[in-house]
Amino acid sequence: MGRPSGRMAASFLLGRAMDNDDRPNADLKALVRTIPDYPHAGIMFRDITTLLLDGPGFSTCITRMTASLPARPDLVAGIEARGFIFAAALARELGVGLVLLRKKNKLPGRVTGVNYALEYGTDRIEMHADAVQPGQRVCLVDDLIATGGTAMAGVELLRGAGARVEEAAFAIDLPDLGGAQRLRAAGVTPHALVDFPGH
Ligand code: AMP
């Protein structure tokens, strides 16, 4: 097939998909499966397992998530569990370390944690207390941002350890649920490849 054309190469660097559909990342959006009424009635579950099953698609997703960042961070922080998949691949692509933000009681060392509100009840994420050094620039990563409760808890946890958190990367944004806006208000720029209006 030869070398990619200049337009293809430029669009790749800009994180734009030019095949089939000129909308940004339409090729990746087509790989996300929507399952209605999971885990509750009324929820449209955006299932990334179909994206992961597509080797070139997952690889392209990671390349474009990497290209969306304005600068290389010192560390990438992944949120359990689906965030780990994207964060680990992104850390490998960037050549930086990975810090795991885990559900409570999963980490073996001394931890620091943050409680956050869920629709019903509360949850908690933790990280090793010595994982991040003050002043390190950390990029937060998850598969999807919805209300932003999870991501904001991650930002609070990392900042509590002295990290500078100014960028966050997601494969998917549900913009109408307001999470990306919450991050912006907190001084974190959210980067997402695909959005699904509505919920
Ligand atoms: P939130 O804290 O509301 O921003 O929710 C984000 C977290 O919940 C992410 O870790 C997602 O994996 C998951 N999540 C929330 N809503 C959905 C959805 N509609 N489809 C798939 N995952 C979701």
CA contacts within 13 A on the Cβ side of 185: 8
Q: What is the dihedral of CA 73, 78, 82, 86, to 10 degrees?
A: 20
Under-50 pLDDT residues of the chain: 1-20
* pLDDT per position as a tens digit, 106-153: 999 999 999 999 878 899 999 999 999 999 999 999 999 999 999 999
Answer whether 44 contacts ligand 1 (Cβ < 6 A): yes
For this structure, is 82 an active site residue? yes
Mutation to probe ligand 1, out of 44, 144, 182 (largest number of atoms < 8 A from CB)? 144
Protein residue closest via CA to atom 13 of ligand 1: 144
| pTM (two decimals) | 0.90
Helices 55-67 and 82-94 pack at an angle, to 10 degrees, of: 70
Q: Which of 3, 64, 102, 119 is catalytic?
A: 119
In this prediction, residue 16 carries a pLDDT of 43
Tokens for 1, please give them.
């097939």
Q: How far apart are CA 161 and CA 1, in angstroms?
A: 50
In this prediction, residue 67 carries a pLDDT of 97
In this prediction, residue 75 carries a pLDDT of 98
Q: Which atom number of ligand 1 is nearest to the Cα of residue 43? A: 19
Sequence-separated (6 or more) residues with CB below 8 Å from residue 76:
87, 90, 91, 94, 96, 97, 98, 99, 138, 139, 141
Answer whether 30 contacts ligand 1 (Cβ < 6 A): no
CATH code matching the domain that covers 6-195, chosen among 2.40.160.10, 3.40.50.620, 3.40.50.2020, 3.40.50.300: 3.40.50.2020
Cα 162 to chain centroid distance, Å, stands at 21
